[in-house]
Amino acid sequence: MSDRVLIKLGGSVITRKGEEGPGSIMTDVIRRTAVVLKDYSNLSLLLVHGAGSCGHPQAHKYGIQSGVTRENREGIYETHRAVSLLNEEVVKVLRSEGIEALSVHPLLGAVSKSGIISDYITKHLDLMLSLGIVPVLHGDVVMDSERGACIISGDQLVRFLAEDLHMRRIGLATDVPGLLDTKGSVVRDVCKSMAHTIPIGGSGHIDVTGGMKGKIEELLNLADLGIGSEIFHISRLKEFLNGEDHGGTRIVPEET
């Protein structure tokens, strides 16, 4: 269990986030990522990916995040279908490079309350990891006890799964080198007591899950549990896996 690693691939990394539809999937980036990952078969690896242009536009169109009723329930299918097509492509590319990847759709197991995961039995993921299977989860629409349904971001899945499955290391691969300050320099270390001093902007594209601000908030919640995480550019994935300096940002627990 000590070698468990959770990696999240940002939606802006694997899709062209300014465009809509499954045609915007960046298969070449996914393949390069798979080539790197296949050299680390000794790790118990769990992958989460964002939705990017395959899901956010549909969720926005149907107003999923404001709640789902009979009037907009069609959006559950449309949004899940979009993110599932992306997930299918990610898994297909990973498997073509010899990685024993398997799709796991949060809609089929997670339940939330007011937009926060309240119930998700993860024993099946635990068993997959023990067999050397790489579960591949994604931001998804899930049923919500207060709102009818809502969007659960990949970042919220990272926070929940890292705790529940006792992941040793957590890395978020993005299209930027880390959390940037107003001068464009990477903020190397962030903890909760200093987070309010760093201006954090949202995504410039349609993003119903909060962009970088939502990402940092989820990781700070994880740090509250004593679990650190790292944000880095996708091109530095190998450095992260090797435990080397990737030039990115570490989200760290408060010193005691």
Q: 120 pLDDT exceeds 60? A: yes
155 occurs within a structural domain:
yes
How are beta strands 140-144 and 148-152 bridged, if at all? Answer: antiparallel
Residue 151 and residue 116 in contact, taking contact as beta carbons nearer than 8 Å: no
Beta-sheet strand order (sheet of 148-152) = 116-119, 111-113, 140-144, 148-152
Q: Is residue 256 part of a domain?
A: no
What is the structure's pLDDT at 196?
A: 66
For residue range 62-91, list pLDDT tens digits in order: 999 899 999 999 999 999 999 999 999 999
Cα–Cα distance measured from residue 74 to residue 87, given in angstroms and rounded to the nearest whole number: 20
Does pLDDT of 203 surpass 50? no
**CA 211 to CA 214: how far, in whole Å?**
6
pLDDT at 22: 47
pLDDT at 200: 58
CATH of residue 151's domain is 3.40.1160.10
Domain assignment of residue 215, given as a range: 4-251
Q: How many domains does the chain have?
A: 1
User: Which range in 63-67, 103-107, 193-197, 202-206 is most confidently predicted, on average pLDDT?
Assistant: 103-107
How much is the mean pLDDT over the chain? 89
Q: Is residue 158 included in any domain, yes or no?
A: yes
- Segment 211-225 mean pLDDT: 83
Q: Over pLDDT 70: what percentage of the chain?
A: 90
CA 240, CA 169: separation in Å to the nearest integer? 9
Give me the helix-helix angle, 211-223 and 154-164, nearest 10°: 10
